[in-house]
Structure 1
Amino acid sequence: MKMEIGRPLGVARRADFAPMSRIHLDAAYMHPMSLGARQALDRYAEYRMGSSSGEGHDDGAIREQVQRMFATLIGAKPAEIAFVPSTMAGENAVLSALGLSGGKGRVVTDALHFTGSLYLYERLAEHGLDVEVVPARDDRIELTDLAAALEKPTDLVALSSVSNYNGFRHDLEAVCALAHARGALVYADIIQAAGAVPFDVKASGVDFCACATYKWLMGDFGVGFLYARGDRLDRLDPIAFGYRQVSEMIAQPMADPPVLWRARPDATGAFGMGTMASGAVAQLHHSLDDLLRIGVEALARHRETLLTPLRERLVAKGCRILTPEASGSPLLAFVPPGLDTVGARLEAAGIFASVYEDRVRVAPTLFNDLDDIGALVAALFA
């Protein structure tokens, strides 16, 4: 989806955020809240406090608008989008509705899928689910290895569109074509893709995908989205239910049955539950509008102007780069010399990045510029 308004990125966007005590270089971990999102949250708080200044807030209307915005962002129909509390909640909901949580069926995943998801499949395997994990080779998942795993009849392929570990980005269209040819459906964790890289669910062919909103969507914790392809809904048999799955509900406690209801024929009808983090939805009303106006393509181009020279400088300094080249990934993972002291050096320099025992990960966003990259390199090799 392209709705660019030509507004400069980099330092020009810093005025949209409160002053930060550190150079924030890892939106793949958590994106700072903008001033506009804070104002939306304040308006919601006024509404919840019963203040007259919050009387214009309409939870239902905002929820519907946010649902439409996200659908637009990923090329879906609003009816194919349901709200979920988190990415993991979305993945679990898909597995449950496909009948895979009870230990029957087969799932193929890969070693670069989210670690929390790999834990999920390990536990389901203990309950009888046939799970195969495709190993990573040279920091990527090879399509040929995935094809070999799919020689055995498989119900679902589950993966991260963009790996949070090293930024490896699947060719999701190729994965879906392969899986569908073998009779399998595809679920994608898109938390590191939605709002970060151009992504269209129809072009990819993906059957289900989910994401939380506190990273590239510039939202907050407690609310996410689950996409279910419209022509796959009839293959679902949900076993978790809530009142949001119905379009109409009438209480008649003195009659039999005591409640009348009409099921929704959409993704919310399959996966909707109960109350949600309405404050976070209010923030998204601002953030998704901003994201659509800027354009994900413009954000991806801006980030590439930062990550390309950073990669070159890191290679020149002897770093091992873990993110496959020319992948269009929104993040860069690498192993610098003296990794054990990197955390302290970045902290002293006032730079926020994710430092793990085996790697460093950075993911610049719309307000970062080359000066931030320069400061990072200087701190890494001080």
Structure 2
Amino acid sequence: MASDFLPYGRQSLDEADIAAVVDVLRSDFLTQGPAIPRFEKAVADWCGARHGIALSNGTATLHCAAQAMGLGKGDWLWTSPITFVASSNAGRYCGAQVDFVDVDPATVCLCPDRLEAKLQQAEKQGRLPKIVVPVHFAGQSCDMPRIHALSQKYGFRILEDAAHALGGSYEGERIGNCRWSDAVSHSFHPVKIVTSAEGGMITTNDEELAWRIGALRTHGITRESSRMQGESDGPWYYQQIELGYNYRMTDLQAALGASQMEKLDRFAQRRQELAELYDRTLAGLPLRPLARDPRGISGWHLYMIRLDLEAIAPLTRRQVFESLRAQNIGVNVHYIPVHLQPDYRQFGFQKGDFPEAERYYEECITLPMFPAMTDLDVMRVKEALCQALHAAA
């Protein structure tokens, strides 16, 4: 890969992060030690939630939270078709059926109007969801007060997928504080707002839910005598009280994550500045960014553009994408609609089911966005875009 390659996302590490990991390497604990509760507290405190439960990755958080909420065979989980497949796969891991709600054409977050209409129809059919997973796409919150109001009317639980959104807020409330949901899932993959290399976390205000997720991440095992069947044999004793998983985070990862959390506000501010610079710099080109909901502040995990395909014809999105890649601009596409994946078509999903999601997919390109980017990097992306679009001029 060329040295001047500009990726769409990249971790931002400093000497403090490295020192935090080295400290763990020199300590008595590499796996389950004091860094994990420290990281859990840092995330929960920043969000304003009562509990944080660290897990091995974001997929594990969704799976364990859904199972802890009682999702199982015969139940339904609904989510957005514009997301990574983990959001819907969590339902399938629990043996549940999965369906989707089309996105808002402006923000590409799950559309509350379409959700309400689908709930009305599902109620008539006796197929209401047990869990709805709103995806805070690119870092911008869904309309959580509206979705919460619908949950009160129709009786479903809410698991927010905030893998893109740590550092953002909605109506003055930090994303992750669980005001409008049962739990919130976070991801710390290297391209996310902060990283623990791999890792995820659930924030929740529900003490029992927090305990159950904590048990599920460790094989369904408890050492608490009050949770056991019968008497404990002694201080060494444990019981597996349900089938769980090995979804634990390590102290190495948690130490990195806790160090990164000290820089979250700075990272979020720089991402906001880059987004605003992109907005100004790209104005006038045959494209548009995602619309902003004025009630919230995005975490800005990703910066997407939607090409005006009519204006650039006969040029195609693929040609623009490949031109940018040829110029060492590491663009990407987020995401292929989940319902169009071959493994989901077996359930009867087909093209045309969720037209707004499909329209977005046909037009979108993800541009580079990470805190270490400079203003000159944004200008470089703009110049590359102009060159890629030149054939349509």
User: Is TM-score (shorter-chain normalized) higher than 0.5?
Assistant: yes
Q: CA RMSD in A?
A: 4.0
The match for 1:209 is: 184
In structure 1, distance between residues paired with 2:142 and 2:318: 30
Deviation digits for residues 299-332 of structure 1, max 9, x if unmatched?
Answer: 54443333234234434111244x2234643132
Q: Following TM superposition, by how much is the alpha carbon of 1:274 offset from its aligned partner in structure 2, in angstroms? A: 6.7
Return 5+ residue gaps in structure 1 as ranges. Answer: 1-19, 48-53, 250-254, 264-268
Q: Following TM superposition, by how much is the alpha carbon of 1:361 offset from its aligned partner in structure 2, in angstroms? A: 0.9
Kindly indicate whether residue 99 of structure 2 is the aligned counterpart of residue 132 of structure 1. yes
Instruction: Report 1:218-367 matches (<5 A).
Output: 218-230=194-206, 233=209, 240=216, 242=218, 246=222, 260-261=237-238, 275-291=248-264, 295=265, 299-321=267-289, 323-326=290-293, 328-329=297-298, 330=300, 331-336=302-307, 337=312, 338=315, 339-347=317-325, 349-355=327-333, 358=362, 359-362=364-367, 364-367=369-372
The DSSP-based 3-state class of the residue aligned with 1:354 is coil
Instruction: Report 1:37-116 matches (<5 A).
Output: 37-45=17-25, 47=26, 60-77=33-50, 80-101=51-72, 103-116=73-86
Return 5+ residue gaps in structure 2 as ranges. Answer: 226-230, 335-360, 388-393
Contact 2:68-2:209 within 8 A present in 1 as well: no
When normalised by structure 1's length, the TM-score is 0.71
Q: Following TM superposition, by how much is the alpha carbon of 1:171 offset from its aligned partner in structure 2, in angstroms? A: 1.8
The match for 1:193 is: 165
Residue identity opposite 1:224 in structure 2: G
Kindly indicate whether residue 152 of structure 2 is the aligned counterpart of residue 180 of structure 1. yes
Contact 1:354-1:362 within 8 A present in 2 as well: yes
Deviation digits for residues 239-261 of structure 1, max 9, x if unmatched?
Answer: 94737964558xxxxx9858634
The DSSP-based 3-state class of the residue aligned with 2:34 is helix
Contact 1:211-1:226 within 8 A present in 2 as well: yes
Q: Following TM superposition, by how much is the alpha carbon of 1:72 offset from its aligned partner in structure 2, in angstroms? A: 1.2
Deviation digits for residues 163-218 of structure 1, max 9, x if unmatched?
Answer: 25xx6631223322321333221001111011355724446322112122124343
Q: Following TM superposition, by how much is the alpha carbon of 1:83 offset from its aligned partner in structure 2, in angstroms? A: 1.6
The DSSP-based 3-state class of the residue aligned with 1:209 is strand
The match for 2:381 is: 376
Residue identity opposite 1:38 in structure 2: I
Residue identity opposite 1:93 in structure 2: C
Query: CA 1:325–1:344 in structure 2 vs 1: closer, same or farther (change >3 Å)?
Result: same
Q: Following TM superposition, by how much is the alpha carbon of 1:344 offset from its aligned partner in structure 2, in angstroms? A: 4.8
Match of 1:156 among 124, 131, 139: 131
In structure 1, distance between residues paired with 2:58 and 2:254: 15
In structure 1, distance between residues paired with 2:66 and 2:175: 22
Query: CA 1:240–1:220 in structure 2 vs 1: closer, same or farther (change >3 Å)?
Result: closer
In structure 1, distance between residues paired with 2:159 and 2:88: 14
In structure 2, distance between residues paired with 1:235 and 1:134: 30
Identity %: 15
The DSSP-based 3-state class of the residue aligned with 1:132 is strand
Contact 1:244-1:273 within 8 A present in 2 as well: no
Aligned residues: 330
Contact 1:354-1:361 within 8 A present in 2 as well: yes
